[in-house]
Amino acid sequence: MMRRREFITLLGGAAAWPLAARAQQQAMPVIGFLYSGSSDGTAFLVTAFRSGLKEAGYIEGRNVAVEYRWAEGEVGRVPALVADLFSRQVAVIAADSRSTLIAKAATTTIPIVFFSGGDPVKLGFVTSLNRPGGNITGASFLTAQVAGKRLELLRELIPTATVIDYLVNPDSPIGQPEIADAETAARTHGLKLQVVNVVNARGEYDFDQAFATIARHRPDALFVGGDPIFLSRRHELVSLVARHAIPAIYNQREYAVAGALMSYGTSLTDVWRQVGVYTGRILKGEKPADLPVTQSARFELVINLNTAKTLGLKVPLTLQVAADEVIE
């Protein structure tokens, strides 16, 4: 039989288990995940982020908690979401460009790991790519800088194209740099580029209004700019482009998978995985100022032959061979 002293000791230890578990839960670090777009259609980004966290030794729900906040395309909501995350005492914030701009203005102490398609130095996120300084570092992918390459691919697919409409939000962090790069490339290739603002007078993303403008222009092709709102609403966007029967190029693979004609750009899953890795490293004690901004060097050309056939386009064999993925 168990002795009384042993029983009391065991009972005392058992009583302490809930307290120990509670203390462990309280000690679990909290990450703020902030995205200016919608949660719809972006689950693959969260999966990539979690993969990066796991590489760094963190598994959500086991040794780290993540508070997710989505602005659903309403940038005006971001300041309140940032304040909410601060009240949750997050240890680090992972955010896209728009959200980073707002979070940066609100704190100089809480670490921020950004995801950006623009130049982090020009955007004011960091002082340099190798030595970021301050409380911010992150992962950058070239989108504005490869706008010219997208136009070149579009011209190769449609040699007769002379007028290209460019769907963009000029006020986004990468809007103006991307426009400048695209306009330079258009002049080089002898193309007329017509900028179509997707944002209406009320400051809302208005695809119907934008496509009414595009219908009046009757361009030979469409160039779709990089934007987290576009990505979140890619199925709606791709459907509108198909309805107007316009050949179009986008900046991410996910559009082509959704039925778009062609895409060329960086792998977003690679970039968000790196954001997860850096977030984990900061939780382990490394400082953002000492973590160089990573730049993705992996680009993907994806062509959807089904969509090309629907549009009556014959994709040159050279493009098909050059493509990283051909959807049939």
Task: Reduce the secondary structure of 243-279 to three states and give it as a string.
Answer: HCCCCEEECCHHHHHCCCCEEEEECHHHHHHHHHHHH
Please state, in angstroms and rounded to a whole number, the distance separating the CA atoms of residues 113 and 135: 9
CA 75 to chain centre: 15
Q: Which is it for strands 262-266 and 299-304: parallel, antiparallel or unpaired?
A: antiparallel
Please state, in angstroms and rounded to a whole number, the distance separating the CA atoms of residues 146 and 266: 10
Q: Strands of the chain (E only): list them.
A: 30-35, 65-70, 92-96, 112-116, 136-140, 163-168, 192-197, 221-224, 248-250, 262-266, 294-295, 299-304, 325-327
Axis crossing angle, helix 175-188 with helix 147-157, rounded to the nearest 10: 40
Give the per-residue pLDDT at 22.
46
Please state, in angstroms and rounded to a whole number, the distance separating the CA atoms of residues 263 and 150: 8
CB distance 118 to 168 below 8 Å: no
Give the per-residue pLDDT at 291.
97
Residue 303 pairs in a beta bridge with 262, 326
Give the per-residue pLDDT at 10.
41
Give the per-residue pLDDT at 144.
58
Please state, in angstroms and rounded to a whole number, the distance separating the CA atoms of residues 169 and 259: 22
Residue position matching structure tokens 């509670």 = 22
Q: Which is it for strands 30-35 and 325-327: parallel, antiparallel or unpaired?
A: unpaired
CB distance 319 to 157 below 8 Å: yes
Residue 23, token pair as written in the block = 């203390």
CB distance 169 to 113 below 8 Å: no
Residue 51, token pair as written in the block = 């993969």
Residue 212, token pair as written in the block = 């009414």
Alpha helices in 28-128 (DSSP H): 43-55, 78-87, 97-106
Residue position matching structure tokens 């993540």 = 66
Give the per-residue pLDDT at 79.
95
Which amino acid is present at 133?
A: G
Residues of the chain with pLDDT under 70: 1-26, 143-145
Question: Residue 259: is it exposed, middle or buried by C-beta count within 10 angstroms (0-12/13-18/19+)?
Answer: middle
CB distance 304 to 327 below 8 Å: yes
Residue 75, token pair as written in the block = 């940038």
Give the per-residue pLDDT at 115.
92
CB distance 273 to 138 below 8 Å: no
Please state, in angstroms and rounded to a whole number, the distance separating the CA atoms of residues 132 and 146: 24
